[in-house]
Amino acid sequence: MNTENIQVPTMAEMASKGEQPEVLFWVGCAGSFDDRYKKVTKAFVKILNKVGVKFAVLGEEETCTGDPARRAGNEFLFQMQAMSNIQVLDGYGVKRIVTACPHCFNTLKNEYPALGGNYEVVHHSQFLQELIDEGKVRVKEGGGFKGRKITFHDSCFLGRANNVYEAPRKVLESLDAELVEMKRCRTKGLCCGAGGAQMFKDAEPGNKEVNIERTEEALDTGASVIASGCPFCMTMLSDGVKNKEKESSVEVKDIAELIAEAEDLV
């Protein structure tokens, strides 16, 4: 793809031109700062560019949704974050939001309304599925994934928290790879260990780390790609794969990266 033309418009730029994007891409803290997840952000932006979706980001105006603060018990901090974010979002008249982070997704979608922030929020797996259904993303001959085994790790905040189980699987099916399920999947999926603000502290004493338990299960499927749709899951599973010294044979990839790869965008 002609790389120099990649556009990442901000809401502020759009507003100054008097324009309104179809959708705001909420990048999230991990997507903005985490080196690994920045790749997912970029992959998704490339897809948006390729398809010609009129989108924008908040750029430096974006701040933490407050999810980790709230789950840890700091309701004050959560509401401070939420209300200032709502002011910014409403200031730009945002209607529709897409995000690659299930924690941002859950909070924006389910928890902002109680504080006056009402938006249509979709997870990027749902957005990608829409694009595939509309024929805007068409993975050519399975995008070189034929014969490979992929397993999808359900993020708790996407799955059990919001009942989104099929969209990411539909997206992966378009890759024409063999989708294999782990022993615990969908409603019975096993957490990566990072939710509920666990990402930001050491685990309590136990006899195993949750991410190791989950990684073992993922490796048991024999898949060469562990697909996820969440920055926390990605970190936890990548660490797990490293711990098991399997990083040369097993990759942890976000669904957006897989689509971008199949589309020759990376």
Tokens of 178: 């063999």
Q: How far apart are CA 42 and CA 27, in angstroms?
A: 10
Query: Judged by CB under 8 A, which of 149, 160, 170, 246 binds another protein?
Result: 160
Binding-site size, another protein (CB under 8 A): 75
According to CB under 8 A, which residues from 241 to 260 bind another protein? none
Instruction: Answer yes or no whether residue 31 interacts with another protein by CB under 8 A.
Output: yes
According to CB under 8 A, which residues from 176 to 195 bind another protein? 187-191, 193-195
Tokens of 63: 């701040």
For another protein, which stretch binds (CB under 8 A), given 78-86, 136-144, 222-230, 246-254? 78-86
Query: Judged by CB under 8 A, which of 13, 15, 20, 38 binds another protein?
Result: 38
Q: How many CB atoms lie within 10 A of CB 140?
A: 10
Q: Are 250 and 150 in contact (CB under 8 A)?
A: no
Instruction: Answer yes or no whether residue 81 interacts with another protein by CB under 8 A.
Output: yes
Instruction: Answer yes or no whether residue 79 interacts with another protein by CB under 8 A.
Output: yes
Tokens of 110: 């389910």
Tokens of 158: 């996407």
Q: Are 85 and 65 in contact (CB under 8 A)?
A: yes
Instruction: Answer yes or no whether residue 16 interacts with another protein by CB under 8 A.
Output: no
Tokens of 172: 């992966």
Angle between helices 124-133 and 255-262 (to 10 degrees): 30
Instruction: Answer yes or no whether residue 170 interacts with another protein by CB under 8 A.
Output: no
User: Which CB atom, from 210 or from 256, has the smaller least distance to another protein?
Assistant: 210
Instruction: Answer yes or no whether residue 66 interacts with another protein by CB under 8 A.
Output: yes
Instruction: Answer yes or no whether residue 216 interacts with another protein by CB under 8 A.
Output: no
Q: At its nearest, how many Å lie between another protein and the CB of residue 247? A: 22
Q: Are 241 and 197 in contact (CB under 8 A)?
A: no
Contacts of 15 (CB under 8 A, 6+ apart): 92
User: Which CB atom, from 17 or from 201, has the smaller least distance to another protein?
Assistant: 201
Q: How many CB atoms lie within 10 A of CB 125?
A: 31
Instruction: Answer yes or no whether residue 76 interacts with another protein by CB under 8 A.
Output: yes
According to CB under 8 A, which residues from 41 to 60 bind another protein? 41-42, 45, 57, 59-60
Q: At its nearest, how many Å lie between another protein and the CB of residue 20? A: 20
Residues pairing with 56 in the sheet: 24
Query: Judged by CB under 8 A, which of 21, 26, 50, 71 binds another protein?
Result: 71
Contacts of 10 (CB under 8 A, 6+ apart): 56, 57, 58, 59, 61
Q: Are 137 and 51 in contact (CB under 8 A)?
A: yes
Q: At its nearest, how many Å lie between another protein and the CB of residue 80? A: 6
Instruction: Answer yes or no whether residue 106 interacts with another protein by CB under 8 A.
Output: yes
Q: At its nearest, how many Å lie between another protein and the CB of residue 163? A: 7
